[in-house]
Amino acid sequence: MSPPESGVKVRMYNPGFGDCFLLAFRKDNGEPYYMLIDCGVHHQYSGGSARIKKVAENILAATNQHIDTVVITHEHTDHLYGFKYARDIFENIEIDNLWLSWAENPDDQAAKKIKDEFGIKIKALQATIQVLDKVDKSFSNLLQDVLDFELVEELAATGGKAEQLLYLKDKVKNKLVRPEDYLNPGEEISLPFLSDYKFYILGPPKNLTRLKELETESELYFKSSRLNEQIAFASAAIAFSTNKKLKTENKDLFDLSCPFDDSHKISISEAETLDFFKEYNKKALKWRQIDIDWLYSAEELALDINNYTNNTSLVIAIELLNTVPTKTILFPGDAQTGNWLSWHDMSWENDDCEEKQLKAKDLLEKCVLYKVGHHGSHNATLKEKGLELMTSSDLVAMIPVDEMWAKADGREWEHPDPKILKRLEEKTKGRIFRSDQIPKTDQKPPKPDAFTDEDWEGILKNIKWDPSGKQLWIEYTVLGKPLGTNSPGQ
């Protein structure tokens, strides 16, 4: 996979349902610089392990067994499990650098706070599943699907060990040993051998309130207190399921979750001696007893757990400096509302900007390639502070998705969401590339109505796809200024 003379080549792989992107830049000395952003497949995807092994084999060949930088956006299997299923292949690939966000730093206090709260929620979901499994198997299975997605024993975000991340940390040439080795929002990275590019770290935010903003227009103001509705439920569920004295760390939260202060509480044995309770206990009816019905609100907790990890996504904007105006490409992982909004809280010194400061708005306005977040779901592409700011006439979108699988077997996931897809089609004039719609050898991507035959043929020169016919990858080249010329590429 040779890089263009100027610009960047972006190859989107099709591992099934998962993210895997290989980028090729040209160094100042003419040599290639390869960046791999995520490599995963959903652990429930049938044939996913075999599929991603083929992806890894292609990466090995495309990079000549050497990757300069691996970027992991967040800890979900569909972004990380290539390093599990295809580890024997990655063993033969040399990796120089690993880019992780501050949220993966085991010594970061904010990260510890996130993982502590996350651990309580996971324990509560486990406890709820155990209780509901005896009375409502289908609902407990639904909750278990979410819990499986987090894979408690392996992922650090859920209090376990991130085996794949530990593997990468151990494998890379340049180790992550200092706090500054992890990436923080607002950083601007300039590599001395890639003078035509800048890398801007946009997320995840270190503001925990921002991290809890998971939905778009419906949730813009969030409680910053230690106890929220999910934690209140979690602590109560743990207490209910164990029926034992709570550990200190959970008891404080349980006390906060109770509707009344201790001074208003009486024990069951005390209640049985009072006339009021004696009278109404005789009249107790089955329909008045809530028993375990309240545990059905665990569905909200399960969704919260899943979305929380998405919102810790490492977000990178890459600026191509040798074009006029400059161009950017955006890789947001699966970032949700709070992550997106936080980008607009930062700026970088830049003399080329009218206000002498480069802002997220500027980066979005000149975005020419957008890796669509979370397989095109409704809550991972922001509207007014996101897609609507992407006004470049050259905008292209890449969506890693398998729509048929997402909607099959009772999942009914809207990946991609019809409203998001429609607006993307309008913004890109139909230049959308999907991993589940890669052309076969003798096909071409269909021409969007907005382009003439001649214009589309010109665009097709920057698009390539797997020549084997196995629909393993599709790539798009964002052109910079050709070397030896004074005009920018189109």
223/93 same-domain check: no
pLDDT digits (tens, 9 = 90+) for 368-396: 999 999 999 988 999 999 999 999 999 99
- C-alpha triplet 56, 104, 346: angle, nearest 5°: 105
- Give residue 226's pLDDT: 37
High-pLDDT (> 90) share of the chain, %: 55
Q: What is the pLDDT of residue 161?
A: 61
94/145 same-domain check: no
Residues 80 and 223 in one domain: no
pLDDT at 301 over 90: no
Residue 179 inside a domain? The answer is no
Pick the range with the lowest mean pLDDT from 219-223, 227-231, 418-422, 457-461: 219-223
Residue 151 or 216, more confident: 151
CA distance 94 to 117: 36
Q: What pLDDT is stored for residue 223 in this prediction?
A: 32
Cα separation values, 423 from 335, 378, 419, Å: 18, 12, 6
In-domain check, residue 458: yes
Question: Does residue 116 sit in the same domain as residue 1?
Answer: no
Q: Are residues 92 and 134 in the same domain?
A: no
Stretch among 61-75, 270-284, 426-440 having the lowest mean pLDDT: 270-284
Residue 111: band (very low, low, confident or very high) from pLDDT cuts 50, 70, 90: confident
Cβ atoms within 10 Å, residue 69 = 19
Whether the bond between 185 and the residue before it is cis, its omega within 30 degrees of 0, is no
Q: How far apart are CA 380 and CA 49, in angstroms?
A: 26
Listed ranges 180-184, 226-230, 263-267, 320-324; the one with the highest mean pLDDT? 180-184
**176 has pLDDT over 70:** yes
pLDDT at position 217, please?
45
Find the domain containing 255 and state its range: 110-156+217-306
In a domain, 336, yes or no: no
Q: Which of 268, 289, 306 is the last residue of a domain?
A: 306
Within this chain, do residues 16 and 92 fall inside the same structural domain, yes or no?
yes
Same-domain pairing of 80 and 15: yes
Residues 140 and 46 in one domain: no
Tens of pLDDT, residue by residue over 253-265, are: 555 556 556 666 7
For residues 134 and 78, membership in a common domain is answered with no
Average pLDDT of the chain is 83
What is residue 330's predicted lDDT score, i.e. its pLDDT?
98
Query: Which pLDDT band, with edges at 50, 70 and 90, does 65 fall under?
Result: very high
Convert the pLDDT of each residue in 411-425 to its tens digit.
778 899 999 999 999
Cα–Cα dist 373/398, whole Å: 9
**Mean pLDDT confidence for 104-109:** 88
- Span 195-202, mean pLDDT? 96
Nearest CA to 1 out of 470, 471, 400, 464 is that of: 464
234 plus 296 within the same structural domain: yes
User: Considering its fold, how many domains does the chain have in total?
Assistant: 2
168 vs 82: CA distance, rounded Å: 11
- Rounded Cα distance between 385 and 393, Å, is 18
Same domain, 94 and 5: yes
Mean pLDDT of 25-36: 97
More confident residue, 456 or 162: 456
pLDDT digits (tens, 9 = 90+) for 201-222: 999 998 877 877 755 443 322 3
Q: What is the pLDDT of residue 224?
A: 32
pLDDT > 70? residue 148: no
Q: Say if strands 327-331 and 367-371 run parallel, antiparallel, or are unpaired.
A: parallel
pLDDT at position 296, please?
Answer: 56
> Is the domain of 115 the same as that of 41?
no
Last residue of a domain, one of 252, 275, 306: 306
Domain boundary among 247, 279, 306: 306
